[in-house]
Every structure is written in C-alpha cells, then in structure tokens.
Chains A and B, each alone.
Chain A
Amino acid sequence: MRNSLVVGLAEVKWSVLPEDVLVAFSLGSCVGVALWDPVLKAGAMAHVMLPSSSRGRKPAENGVDACRISRFEKPGKYADTAVEYAVRCLTAIGAEPSRMVVWMAGGAHVIPGFTLPTGDIGAANIRAVSEALKRLGLPEPRQDVGGDYGRTMRLYVGEGRATVYSVSRGEKEVSMGNRQCGKGEKGCRRCWLSTMPCS
C-alpha cells in the first residue's frame, strides 16, 4: 500500500518509509529535486519556486545580511536553500551526499510569449539547482527539464526510483541518459550509480 506525501510549492519533505511516495504536483517553471540514499533507502524532495534566496533583495538597513531567507519563508522556496535543506535532512540520519542518487524535473516555460525582464524563471531555476547540487558535492542529476509543459514528479522511497508525468507524454522514469563513462571505471560515480538497484 503506497502512501503519497505531497510536497507543496516551496516545501521540502523526506521519508525513510518504503511505502511512501513523495509527490511534487504540476511543476511549471518550478523545479522538483529528489535525493535518495541507496544505503539508508531514504529520500527527500524539494519543490523549488525561485532561483536564489538573494533574488531582488537589498542589504537591510540595520546591517543584517539580507541574503538569507527571512523567518517567514520556507527553505524550499529558493534553489540554494532548498537543496541545502534537503541534503541536511538526509545527512542528519546518516546519509552521504556523495552516494546519493539525484533527480531533477520541471523548469518549463509553460506560458508562451511571456518572460520576465530578468529572463526565464524556469531556466534560471534549473541553473540554480544544478549549481547548488555541484556546490554541495552531489552527483549529477538524472533529469527531465525544460520544454513548455507541466510535470508531476514522484519519488518512490522504497524503490529509489523517480518518475515524471506530463499530459502529453504520460508517466516515465527519469533516466540518466547516456552520460556515464560507459567503461565502469573505478571512481566513475555515474557508472557506480548505474549498478544500483534503482537504475
């Protein structure tokens, strides 16, 4: 019996229960990031809305660093704080960032002909999540990003697999593509991941 845990806009949730499925519904320009530790079989998901917690902020008059999220904001709202928080949720229970499997989905341009003067938010979210993953030493993500359509992302905690559903394409697994070295060399994280039961 599966149990769906909805990861709402700007939220981060995690689970170690094998029956749990973390779900980020209807990602448009938002990006869903899923992390899974193959040893603990624990997963986390963030539903990122905006690229950076310093976006459009000016230093506060009292000198306090305004480039941090305020106490009224959830860490899942921004790519940088969301990825950091999701990693912290899993490392707190013993997960290792270097062995995590990572998935990313969303970042689409669903409203045609409309872009902010600062650029496409979907593309900016994808870039920001990729940078945050790299900065925190996480493996390169399996991804289904961009385009002009909405997606729902699911992470099956017990199985360590992630799927993406879209209206036009149905449901499919988020795969690694052909970005492994293919030689199975020691130290090639992507090849190592491909041997994990989830792949």
Chain B
Amino acid sequence: MQKEALEYSRFHELAVLGLERARAVLSAYTGRPLRLAAVRSDYVELNRVPFLSGPPEQVVLSSYVTFSGDIEGQLLIFFRPESVEKLASLLAPHVFGPLGGQRSAALLDSLIGEIANVVGSAVLNEVADGFNIKIVPVPPVIVREMAGAVISTATAYAGLDGDSAYVAYMKATLDEENASFEIVFLPRMGNLQGTSQKTV
C-alpha cells in the first residue's frame, strides 16, 4: 500500500511537470501567462466522479484521449463554452478574433484538438520518461456533451474494481479565469504498480 502510494505520488509529480511544460508552450502561443490554479490527485468515490469538473449537466467541449502501452488510461480535457471562445481568440486571432473571418465548429474542434495534443503529449511524455515506460496515446476525440456524461462513461470504460477511482485533476487558467480548462487523468487502477520494476 505504501509502495502504491509512493508510485501514485510520483505519477502526480510527473503529471504536474508535464502540465508545466504544456503551460509554457501555451503561454508562448497566446502571449499571456497561463496559470495552474488547482492541482490534486487522489482516490475519488465513484458517486463523486461526475461532479469532478463542476455541475454534471453543464455542456462542455471535451477532448478525450485514451492511451495504452505499459500503462493504460484516459485523459480528458474539459473546456467550458465561454472559455473555448476566449482561448480560440487568443490562439488563432486571425480566425476567432474580433476581426476574424469565417468561424466554424469544425475549426474550433480542430483548435481544441491541437490544445489537447499539446497538453496530452506533454503530460504523457513526462510520465513515460519519468517511469521509463512506453505510453501510446490515440489521437483525441472531441465531444460536445454534459461533462458528467463524458466523465462517467470514461470511468465505465476504465472498468474499475472497487468503489473509487484514482484521479489526477488539474485546472489551468488564462486571463484571470476568463479562459480555463480542466484536465482529468484516469490511469487504470493496478497499472502503475506494474511499472515499478521499470522505474529508474
């Protein structure tokens, strides 16, 4: 149990380092400082999982990434509608800014997919390097749906034993809360313990 806790703690550290790297990249893209507002990881009771990123019925644009390899799991990034517009106008002002041209849902999805790629690859690479393991992510899927429905479905896909899920939760904000996104990491339970012999 102690060993398990240590590995989850290391996992948490690495995920935060990865997010820090993603933060630097996104700050450079937008020319504004991106801050990590909340970072925590713990076992969460299943009945609380749909409420992790706020009201479960709130519609969000989410990016869903699964990964396999030496560990399996899922990485979800939630963008609230008001944040999506703000982030989009900062990242692609020529399209989504006040003087921007034609906007489309497909373009917005593509932009969100790019942010997910930057954040997801930074976090997963850091975890893979830190544990000296192989992690293979699949390209992100963009979903517009109730936050609770997406996260509870992801939890069901994880096929967890027991009544709790190990979750790493992070929130990044830009421009004093006007633009933020939340990252929920659901590594599959039991996978991390198997990585210990590969840890350097």
Contacts and interface: CB of A to CB of B under 8 A. Distances in A.
A121 B157 contact: yes
B149 A26 contact: yes
B164 to A, nearest CB: 9
A70 B153 contact: no
Interface residues of A, number: 34
B159 A111 contact: no
Interface string A6-28: 00111100000000000001111
A49 B59 contact: no
A77 B163 contact: yes
A8 B48 contact: yes
A181 B156 CA distance: 37
A116 B157 CA distance: 7
Contacts of A74: 46, 163
Interface stretch (B13-21, B94-102, B138-146): B138-146
A28 B145 contact: yes
Nearest to A26: B148
B84 interface: no
A50 interface: yes
B176 interface: no
Contact of A25 (B56, B145, B150, B159): B56
Contact of B47 (A11, A50, A112, A151): A11
B47 A150 contact: no
A111 B148 contact: no
Contact of A111 (B47, B146, B150): B150
Interface of B: 45-50, 56-57, 59, 64, 66, 141, 143, 145-150, 152-157, 159, 161-163
Interface of A: 8-11, 25-30, 49-50, 55-56, 70, 72-74, 77, 108, 110-114, 116, 121-122, 149-152, 165, 167
Given A8-B50, A116-B157, 15 more contacts: A8-B45, A8-B47, A10-B47, A25-B57, A25-B146, A26-B56, A26-B152, A28-B145, A56-B159, A70-B162, A74-B46, A113-B141, A121-B157, A149-B149, A150-B150
12 contacts: A9-B46, A25-B146, A27-B152, A28-B145, A28-B149, A28-B150, A28-B153, A49-B155, A55-B159, A110-B150, A150-B148, A150-B150
